[in-house]
Amino acid sequence: MSEPLLSVNDLEVEFDTYGGTVKAVRGVSFDVAKGETLAIVGESGCGKSVTVQTLMGLIPMPPGRVTNGSATLNGKNILNLPAAEANKFRGVEIGMIFQDPMSSLNPTMTIGDQIAETLKVHRGKSHQEAFNMAIELLEKTHIPEAGRRARQYPFEFSGGMLQRAMIAQSLACSPSILIADEPTTALDVTIQAQILELMLELQRTEDMSIILITHDLAVVARMADRVAVMYAGQVVESGSVDDIFYRSAHPYTLGLKAAMPSNTHDRDKSLTPILGSPPDLFKPPEGCGYCARCPHAMKVCADHLPDIVSVADGHHSRCWLQHEAAPRVDELHQAGA
């Protein structure tokens, strides 16, 4: 594989709170290659949003703190930069869209002005030029009557239209990476599909990479080239989308798949939940974070954090079951997959 566009290594992020220090991200590593879509999946509170927001410098520090790790974009460090430095890549090299488009746009500025603002700041365009480009960007995201829409305010847009406008805004400077932090969670299902379709289309035409954060496995299956499954602040399994769905290695991934509703299942059969709840990240467990909920937990899991082991080429898992000292667990695959 050639030099990755974005490379994150062993990232650790903590938050000081009144209740103590929360270790939100505990050693996350991943690479994003040019033009690919990496999906980061995991349940609420597993640190997926914190990870990408740290990369964008959106975590307020204090109370947040990067205690370890590095992140490079095109070989250049992007962690812990002062605002002036960070602004050279924020909105330029990396665009970002958020979960709730309704509240993610300034209610007192027109949509066009907000998109134009990025162009004025980063590209030094005049207002008129920038505004015209904003209209083009809105057209690119298939907003009808873009010229009229650009002069409207966010409250005059629907949720799906706002997310389109957000995408248009994030594309203003033709970024090489688009980070989408649960972009469809706040939208209803039909609109979801449209937004995802739009993202795929723009990825092709703009030739950009996407980091997609979601907890919706259906979205992952549709969008991703590669997947990183996060649990309790760590990446527990990563690999191609086929690796994750058809050759799942980590018991947590298996658990997620088992919990997914399916149209082939017996309708009377209830879903299979993952029992228990995630560990307290004020005091993260010494061993594997999933140990307490894992049906395959062993003695070693409780006290020793497993290494990341390569299951196959480009497919990694952080589990003792795949450790070379452990026997291959084929029966596990048959049981869960």
Partner 1 sequence: MLMYTLKRLLAGVITVWFIATATFIAMHQVPGDPLMNDKAVSPEIRANLEAKYGLDKPVTTQYFIFLSNMLKGDFGISFTQQNRKVNDIIRDHFPVSATLGVLAIFFAATGGVLFGALTAVYRNQMPDVVIMFLVILGISVPSFVFAALGQLMLVNINSFFGYSVIPVAGWGTIWHMLMPSLVLGLTTMALLTRLMRSSMLEVVNEDYIKTAKAKGLSPTRIFFRHQLRNAILPVITVLGPQIAAITTGGFVVELVFAIPGLGRYFVQAVQQLDYTVIMGTTVFYGAFLVFMVIVVDILYGFIDPRVRLS
By CB under 8 A, which span of 68-76, 84-92, 199-207, 235-243 interacts with partner 1? 84-92
Number of residues forming the site for partner 1 (CB under 8 A) = 33
Please identify, using beta-carbon distances, which residue of 91 and 279 lies nearer to partner 1.
Answer: 91
Residues 314 and 311: their CA atoms lie apart, in Å, by 8
Omega cis (within 30) before 62: yes
Please identify, using beta-carbon distances, which residue of 153 and 245 lies nearer to partner 1.
Answer: 153
Per-residue x/- mask for partner 1, residues 113 to 142, rule CB under 8 A? ----xx--xx--------------------
Of 111, 116, 141, 112, residue with least CA distance to 202: 141
Per CB under 8 A, which of residues 145..184 are in contact with partner 1? 153, 155, 166, 169-170
Q: Distances from the Cα of 150 to the Cαs of 95, 136, 227, 235, 299, in angstroms?
A: 20, 10, 36, 40, 60
Please identify, using beta-carbon distances, which residue of 103 and 262 lies nearer to partner 1.
Answer: 103
Residues 102 and 8: their CA atoms lie apart, in Å, by 30
**Looking at 29, 51, 54, 104, which residue binds partner 1 (CB under 8 A)?**
104
Q: Which amino acid is at 238?
A: S
Q: How far apart are the first and last CA of the chain?
A: 29
By CB under 8 A, which span of 61-69, 78-86, 224-232, 270-278 interacts with partner 1? 78-86
Please identify, using beta-carbon distances, which residue of 136 and 156 lies nearer to partner 1.
Answer: 156
CB of residue 117 to partner 1, shortest distance in Å = 7
Residues 6+ apart with CB under 8 A from 201: none
- Helices within the chain (DSSP H only): 48-55, 83-86, 111-123, 127-140, 146-149, 159-170, 189-206, 217-223, 241-246, 251-259, 299-303, 330-336
CB of residue 54 to partner 1, shortest distance in Å = 12
By CB under 8 A, which span of 8-16, 70-78, 90-98, 264-272 interacts with partner 1? 90-98
CB of residue 104 to partner 1, shortest distance in Å = 4
Residues 329 and 325: their CA atoms lie apart, in Å, by 12
Q: Does 231 bind partner 1 (CB under 8 A)?
A: no
Please identify, using beta-carbon distances, which residue of 51 and 104 lies nearer to partner 1.
Answer: 104
Q: Which residues bind partner 1 (CB under 8 A)?
A: 56-58, 83-84, 86-92, 95-96, 98, 100, 103-110, 117-118, 121-122, 153, 155, 166, 169-170
